[in-house]
Structure 1
Amino acid sequence: MSDTKNPTDKTLSVTSKTLTLKRPVEQGVVRQSFSHGRTKSVVVEKVKRRVIGPGDVKEGAPAATTPPVAAPKPAPAPTRPPQRPGQQPQRPTQASSRPTGVVLRTLTDDERDARLQALTEAKRREGEERRQAEEDAKRRAIQEAQERVEREAAEARKREEDERRRQEEDRKRKAEDEARRRLGADAPGQSAAPASAAPRTEAPRRPDSGPSSGGAARPAGAGQPSGAPRRAPLNATVPSSRPRPLEAESEAPRVIRRPSGVPGRPPAPPPKAPKAPGTDDRRRGRLTLATAHTAEEERTHSAAAYRRRLQRMKGSANEPKEKLSREVVIPETITIQELANRMAERGVDVIRLLMKQGEMHKITDVIDADTAQLIAEELGHTVKRVAESDVEEGLFDEPDEAETLLPRPPVVTIMGHVDHGKTSLLDAIRHANVVSGEAGGITQHIGAYQVTSPLGGKITFIDTPGHAAFTAMRARGAKVTDIVVLVVAADDGVMPQTVEAINHAKAANVPLIVAINKIDKPEANPQRVRTELLQHEIVVESLGGETLEFEVSAKTGANLDKLLEGLQLQSEILDLRANPDRAAEGTVVEAKLDRGRGPVATVLVQRGTLKVGDIVVAGAEYGRVRALIADTGEQLKEAGPSVPAEVLGFNGTPEAGDRVAVVENEARAREITGYRERQKRDRAAARGVTAARSLTDMMRDLKEGTGRKEFALVVKGDVQGSVEAIVGALDKLGNDEVTARVLHSGVGGITESDVTLAEAFNAVILGFNVRANKETREAAERTGIEIRYYNIIYDLVDDVKLAMSGLLSPLLREHRLGEAQILEIFDVSKVGKIAGCRVLDGTVERGANVRLIRDSVVIHEGKLSQLKRFKDDAREVVAGQECGMAFENYQDMRAGDLIECYRVEEIKRTL
């Protein structure tokens, strides 16, 4: 191996251990900062890359490595290393002059270009690294300045806090000293020892300490050089031989203040007190950048965080808890959320099971009881199926013990045809004059009264209307009654409503008593009534039957006492009994909305005793009984079996026919009424669905050009029974083309909300025995809504029927006038074609409708625009005469065509 060094070779150094390649290396220590104020010192090494160019090779120094280009080829002649500036030219030594056997090569152009490119890239990288280092230095300087500012601010805040604490301690100490001084001056026997009463915090005055004021203790160490050790104050460290007061022993540790000896300079901060063993070294308070950099101890996680971590690790390793099996109460329908809550399961688990069954649901969807039972059993729970109707269990018809039953008055219902004297007969029995208050002389309300019979017993009467519209009232009367009195006028005989009353009595399976009324009239014929009753299977006693009959007169009062005796005997035969010592049950005979008293329901108590203060439920309404009013107007404290009474206290107007029951508390009442309200809403929705037409029917009507018209109405009445009768009568009106649609019906006066509803649907408001107040009338006038008032149901039904008849399309009837034949066609300028015709039969009139018939086929239908006789216009042309005709908007006329002339008459239709 030659001693001559090649610039491309690396310097190899042989050591006792290994063969290594040396590079210049710089080492340094970098302090890393982490979160929570933690730091760490790291030793880093930086290797400098030395790039050696052709003119930078020192004598005897190794040349820089070049990038790996093409493999070096041996050069034909050795090259000398370039001399550096300022270096003396080197003389060839003996070693370099004599031949070595190594041939030095010269660089090719590609190698030289590659080396120059590598050098340029190295210089560029060095420049970028230098700029990056400068930017990092600037950034660090800015960050250090910010940290220094924050640290100074934190120190200033700390000094202010210390000063504030010192001042508070001084004020507190001065107050304590003053208190002790006063206590020592006031206490007897202590004037001889004033020194013992002096505060122990006062230090003896020293010549170098300066004057002290206010008796405050002077801090020790003042005036000492900064390097000298500071002495603690006498009151803090030096034990005193004098007894210390009890107040001083309970004092909190005071902050030691050591002011610097330089005037005008703030006092130096007190030294940190040594930490007691076992105290917590963790940093308290908010962590800021300044406190993190000035912290001497390392910030670590709290013990609570460590415990939480251990608990999470243990919790994940624990075995799953055993699932509890619950008894789940499932009603007829339930939401998924409610089902999950009752099972104490997650809603997503329930939805996942439903998805496995192929059903997609949301958590708010409602599922049936069967699906809910499958889900609950799948999750390991037991199921208890209940129905919503179970809330009414035990509310009605609970049997009573035989020994608790006592006799009760009979309930008698007066039924019959309209204007047969039912109310007059009842007025004669009660010695009242109810019939005078009835509009039109007919009864349109159901009433309940109680009278005393000649035998001394009580009899309850229920008066029902006789009009055909009050079928529901008569049905209710027959349902709650014990005996039915059929009133038939002797001069009129059996009528349709009489037959209906007979059918109601048979359906209720109650005994029937016939009262033949108006026997005082000259045309009265009681025998005719008996004969007509035979056609309906009613055989009276005079004809060998079992039905009682009485010939009475409401006008003269004849045989009324016999009628009452017969009712009393019939009730004794029936042996009517009830238990008065139980919760009351009954039926709503009538209900209305009184402006001064609120909802008022006429209730007939059937079992038990109704008392003031009871909580009652009637249909979808409930309330607490505030008052009981008899038919005579007097206040009652309680109402027993078969006693009718007006009940005040309902939160809404119940419907006539609803059953009434007393419940134990309001919670049960709300539960029952809530269920009934839902049932009522569902039934109303079902009726709306059935009443509505399908889309196919609507499309068919539109295609045919005819649509079903609706006459919108809002009905308000005085009592529930009248409103029910009116709505029932209006539902029967109409046909396939027009129908009456009752948007809303209710009890009470007409309100502004009714006007708003009528305005939305362009409806008419009907008031039956009610009126609208001033504000409602003004609102109706502003919106153009018509309000009609009625007190007789006949007039109301007739007016609605007449108004609905106006919505019917008129009936078109064709009336033939005559026929003419075209003889010749004339073309007239500015007029068009004129047909010369001869009238074959009848007459032809100007303006009439015509048909053009060609070969027995109707070619055109229109109107006759011109009719001339010679050159003059003619109103009509009779048979046998010739005339000229012109059609409206039609010119295709030929000789030989027939013209048929006719008129169309509109006939108004009625329901």
Structure 2
Amino acid sequence: MSDQNNGDGKKTLSIKGGAGTVKQSFSHGRTKSVVVETKRRKVAIPKPGSTAAKVANAQGAVAQNLSDAEFDRRKKALEAALANEADRAAKEQEEAQARERERERLRAEKDAEARAAEEAEAERLEAERKAEAEAAKAAKIAKTKKVAAEPDPVADAPLGDKPVRSRDKAPTDSAPAAKRTDRDEDKRNTRAKTEDNRRRSGKLTITQALGDQGNRQRSMAAMKRRQERDKRKMTGSGEREKVSRDVQVPDAITVQELANRMAERAAAVVKALMTNGIMATQNQSIDHETATLIVEEFGHRVVRVSDSQVEDIIVATPDDDEAAQVPRPPVVTIMGHVDHGKTSLLDAIRKTTVATGEAGGITQHIGAYQVETESGAVLTFLDTPGHAAFTSMRSRGAQVTDIVVLVVAADDSVMPQTIEAIQHAKAAKVPLIVAINKCDKPDADPNRVRTALLQHEIVVEKMSGDVQDVELSAKTGKGIDNLLEAIALQSELLELTANPARPAAGAVIEAKLDVGRGPVATVLVQYGTLRKGDIFVVGEQWGRVRALIDDQGDRVDEAGPSVPVEVLGLNGTPEAGDTLNVVPDEARAREIAEYRAGVSKDKRAAAGAATTLDQLLAQAKANENVIELPVLVKADVQGSAEAITQALEKIGNEEVRVRVLLSGVGAVTESDVTLASASNAPIIGFNVRANSQARESANQKGVEIRYYSIIYDLVDDIKLAASGMLTPEIKETFVGNAEIKEVFKITGAGKIAGCIVTDGYARRHAGVRLLRDNVVIHEGKLKTLKRFKDEVKEVPSGQECGMAFENYEDIRVGDVIEIFTTQEIERSLA
């Protein structure tokens, strides 16, 4: 066995030296003989009698016992199995060959299609190249003809002065141009092949998905500008003529909107702003002055326009057309002090009993009624509250009225609200009629009323003045006819007229939120005629008249001048005192309402922004020691909510005050309870109730809801609650004085002062002050008071005692002890 080289550089072992010897051949002719150990294969022969021997003998016996027929049958079965196996293998091989041929065929078809596509693309590119070459050739020919037609200044010049022509260099430049053309063509072909290969590879780019194929599309604006340039070139007009436009510039406008109104590019406007030192993008707003400067710089004319011009459609003054004016009923307002009989007088005129249905016997709303007298004259009456809290209601009543009837009780004479009503009438510049009521009482004295009115510059006719006065009794009806005659006479002197054909305008007397009807406004029509279906705007609200209800509760189709009606169809509850105006369409009404709401919001924001940080800190410091009582107010009508808010805000002093978190109309809702719970505030319901969800929520959150129907009961309760938040007044009472004669130090008890009571008496549970050189150095209570060894409650003047202070031992001989008692006294708001 030796190591031989088989021709590929590898070594093998071969046996040459006999058994047990191996000869190895190395490079450079070196050999080596190695003795190896050889082993014979062990053959296992079963022992006689073993299990393996028995099995082998049995198999041999079976083979010997087979018959020739059985042997042939088994042999044939074996041959058939071998033949079937060979047929199956051949069939599988044929199927594999068929699949391979099919794959080759499909691959050839794909290659053929790819070659055809490449050839088509190459033909298309070749056609495009030829077309471009022909177009360039035609353009060159046309240019040559044009140049030939024009006079040649070079040819006409002297020989020595002829410049070198550019076309003389054309033959030298043609070769590089041809090379560039060939390179461009090769690049296009390469790009086309690359695109085809990418398409065949199945890869899809974003550009291919969008169908752009790498070519950037031009915008519509660019296309329009190109069309305009081409048109100018064809017409030969050159630069287009500058158009000067009238540009409306409001108080604030965005740069983009200004560019649109001037028909200029936004980029040009931004550039003009940057030139003037203003950095603004096209979405930012600029003020009116800046916009005016830019408009004038572009050569346009500025037209000033304000947002408030949206209200120009509203005509708030009566028409001056005398032919269209017709007489209208006078508007009479009943004013006076509380309980002087205003509503009772109106009931006697209307023959109704409104006063008996009022809560507490006082009027808390403005009532509007229309009465027809026995003579056929129609009068419109407004009944105003006399309580001190309803100042705003009386002021609104005087502003919308033509005649004021001042009711004064003959037994009570002139009172504070009577004086206030006189002031409202003077401010509104309306005539006054004095009705001296309750003349049927035994202690009535009308002359005392007339004399008291002189102090307020009201001189009645019986005292040689020009103010009418009527003595009457609303209870018995005496003198009511005289009052109606006085009103009719004053109305004739005023010559009241109105134009019923113009768009309606009126004043909101009262507003409320009805559960079944929604927002309802009581409107006194002043001009025009309000009809069902009219679109109107009132304050920050707008709507369409859904229904009109008169003072008798009947539905009417229209309401003329001086007619009070309830208007349904508002989208929200307006403020009492707002003006109702009819507008042409719904869009205009919505625009005006949104403008007014925006102005109101800006005013509130400006009021908050006007407060500087120092002012806020000063205000917070000033209110640091002020205790606030937060409340929520929900009333049946807007006027009552306003009056309650004004009355509650007047309650308080420098220590405590009432803060109204929310004031509104309508029932108490669950959101009101949530706000009250978060603010730890009670809810006040004035002639309204809480719905079921609000009641359940209030019970769960522990929110107190109080209901009232009389305003002065409400004010008194809130005033009492605010008074309970005041710190009590401490009243101090002097008891006595004692002087320290000796100081004893006792173990376990501390320092004990040996004193003599010099004035009054010493009391065990009283307060004490320690005075040294008439300066208070300690104030507290006594720990012990002893007379000799006994603990006593009091020590009279002139006797000696021992005293010890609680938590204080800095006592000296000669110090004075002042004994006093304190008492807490509850305070109340005036």
Per the normalisation by structure 1, the TM-score is 0.65
Number of the residue aligned with 1:528: 448
Number of the residue aligned with 2:731: 813
Q: Distance in 2 between matches of 1:414 and 1:745?
A: 28
Establish whether residue 643 from structure 1 lines up as the match of residue 563 from structure 2. Answer: yes
Shift in Å, 1:153: 9.1
Number of the residue aligned with 1:838: 756
Number of the residue aligned with 2:515: 595
Establish whether residue 734 from structure 1 lines up as the match of residue 652 from structure 2. Answer: yes
Establish whether residue 654 from structure 1 lines up as the match of residue 574 from structure 2. Answer: yes
Shift in Å, 1:856: 2.1
Matching residue within 608, 612, 615 for 1:694:
615
Q: Distance in 1 between matches of 2:404 and 2:541?
A: 30
SS at match of 2:751: strand
Distance 1:270 1:339, change over 3 A: closer
**Native 8 Å contact 1:411 1:459 kept in 2:** yes
Shift in Å, 1:275: 7.0
Matching residue within 713, 734, 740 for 2:631:
713
Matching residue within 412, 415, 435 for 2:332:
412
Shift in Å, 1:370: 2.8
Number of the residue aligned with 1:509: 429
Shift in Å, 1:531: 1.2
Number of the residue aligned with 2:49: none
Shift in Å, 1:271: 11
Distance 1:807 1:894, change over 3 A: same
Matching residue within 353, 357, 372 for 1:437:
357
Q: Distance in 2 between matches of 1:698 and 1:713?
A: 21
SS at match of 1:646: strand
Taking the TM superposition and a 5 Å limit, the aligned residue runs for 1:579-594 are: 579-594=499-514
Matching residue within 681, 686, 694 for 1:768:
686
Number of the residue aligned with 1:136: none
Which region of structure 1 is more displaced relative to structure 2, 390-399 or 756-765?
Answer: 390-399
Matching residue within 365, 368, 380 for 1:448:
368
Establish whether residue 867 from structure 1 lines up as the match of residue 788 from structure 2. Answer: no
Q: Distance in 2 between matches of 1:348 and 1:270?
A: 50
Establish whether residue 856 from structure 1 lines up as the match of residue 774 from structure 2. Answer: yes
SS at match of 1:657: coil
Distance 1:737 1:905, change over 3 A: same
Aligned-pair Cα RMSD in Å: 3.8
The AA in structure 1 aligned to 2:200 is T
SS at match of 2:689: coil
**Native 8 Å contact 1:154 1:290 kept in 2:** no
Number of the residue aligned with 2:6: none
SS at match of 2:703: coil
Distance 1:484 1:694, change over 3 A: same
The structure with the greater share of residues assigned to helix is: 2
The AA in structure 2 aligned to 1:697 is A
Taking the TM superposition and a 5 Å limit, the aligned residue runs for 1:257-276 are: none
Matching residue within 626, 630, 633 for 2:553:
633
SS at match of 1:767: strand
Establish whether residue 391 from structure 1 lines up as the match of residue 310 from structure 2. Answer: yes
**Native 8 Å contact 1:617 1:663 kept in 2:** yes
Establish whether residue 884 from structure 1 lines up as the match of residue 802 from structure 2. Answer: yes
**Native 8 Å contact 2:328 2:496 kept in 1:** yes
Q: Distance in 2 between matches of 1:309 and 1:574?
A: 75
Number of the residue aligned with 1:786: 704
Shift in Å, 1:357: 6.8
**Native 8 Å contact 1:455 1:568 kept in 2:** no
Taking the TM superposition and a 5 Å limit, the aligned residue runs for 1:613-628 are: 613-628=533-548
Q: Distance in 2 between matches of 1:157 and 1:414?
A: 108
The AA in structure 1 aligned to 2:304 is R
Establish whether residue 291 from structure 1 lines up as the match of residue 195 from structure 2. Answer: no
Deviation readout 1:707-735 (Å, 9 max, x if unpaired): 22222111110011111111111122222
Distance 1:584 1:289, change over 3 A: closer
Which region of structure 1 is more displaced relative to structure 2, 789-798 or 849-858?
Answer: 849-858
Number of the residue aligned with 1:796: 714
Stretches of structure 1 that go unaligned for 5 or more consecutive residues are 1-151, 163-267, 294-298
Shift in Å, 1:619: 0.5
SS at match of 1:514: strand
The AA in structure 2 aligned to 1:291 is R
**Native 8 Å contact 2:318 2:498 kept in 1:** no
Matching residue within 582, 591, 597 for 1:677:
597
Distance 1:286 1:500, change over 3 A: same
**Native 8 Å contact 1:838 1:881 kept in 2:** yes
The AA in structure 2 aligned to 1:597 is R
The AA in structure 1 aligned to 2:458 is I
Number of the residue aligned with 2:251: 332
Q: Distance in 2 between matches of 1:361 and 1:758?
A: 46
Q: Distance in 1 between matches of 2:820 and 2:260?
A: 79
Distance 1:494 1:269, change over 3 A: closer
Shift in Å, 1:773: 1.0
Number of the residue aligned with 2:168: none
Q: Distance in 2 between matches of 1:606 and 1:444?
A: 24
Q: Distance in 2 between matches of 1:340 and 1:437?
A: 66
Shift in Å, 1:883: 1.4
Q: Distance in 2 between matches of 1:446 and 1:682?
A: 31
* Identity in percent: 59
**Native 8 Å contact 1:454 1:561 kept in 2:** no
Shift in Å, 1:800: 1.3
Deviation readout 1:445-473 (Å, 9 max, x if unpaired): 00100011222110000000001111111
Establish whether residue 465 from structure 1 lines up as the match of residue 385 from structure 2. Answer: yes
Establish whether residue 573 from structure 1 lines up as the match of residue 493 from structure 2. Answer: yes
**Native 8 Å contact 1:454 1:564 kept in 2:** no
Distance 1:374 1:905, change over 3 A: farther
Distance 1:349 1:890, change over 3 A: farther
Distance 1:269 1:568, change over 3 A: closer
Taking the TM superposition and a 5 Å limit, the aligned residue runs for 1:234-313 are: 287-289=196-198, 291=200
Number of the residue aligned with 2:586: 666
Q: Distance in 2 between matches of 1:448 and 1:415?
A: 13
Deviation readout 1:125-166 (Å, 9 max, x if unpaired): xxxxxxxxxxxxxxxxxxxxxxxxxxx999849969x9xxxx
Shift in Å, 1:322: 8.6
The AA in structure 2 aligned to 1:855 is D
SS at match of 1:393: helix
SS at match of 2:562: coil
Shift in Å, 1:387: 2.4
Distance 1:682 1:905, change over 3 A: farther
The size of the alignment, in residue pairs, is 645
Q: Distance in 1 between matches of 2:804 and 2:283?
A: 74
Establish whether residue 518 from structure 1 lines up as the match of residue 438 from structure 2. Answer: yes
Shift in Å, 1:902: 2.0
Q: Distance in 1 between matches of 2:335 and 2:523?
A: 19
Stretches of structure 2 that go unaligned for 5 or more consecutive residues are 1-101, 128-188, 203-207, 230-237
Distance 1:269 1:329, change over 3 A: closer
Deviation readout 1:48-100 (Å, 9 max, x if unpaired): xxxxxxxxxxxxxxxxxxxxxxxxxxxxxxxxxxxxxxxxxxxxxxxxxxxxx
Shift in Å, 1:371: 3.8
Establish whether residue 758 from structure 1 lines up as the match of residue 676 from structure 2. Answer: yes
Shift in Å, 1:844: 2.1
SS at match of 1:678: helix
SS at match of 2:308: helix
Taking the TM superposition and a 5 Å limit, the aligned residue runs for 1:89-238 are: 156=106
Per the normalisation by structure 2, the TM-score is 0.71
Q: Distance in 1 between matches of 2:783 and 2:259?
A: 81
The AA in structure 1 aligned to 2:677 is E
The AA in structure 2 aligned to 1:666 is E
Q: Distance in 1 between matches of 2:284 and 2:737?
A: 73
Which region of structure 1 is more displaced relative to structure 2, 390-399 or 599-608?
Answer: 390-399
Q: Distance in 2 between matches of 1:669 and 1:383?
A: 28
**Native 8 Å contact 2:318 2:527 kept in 1:** no
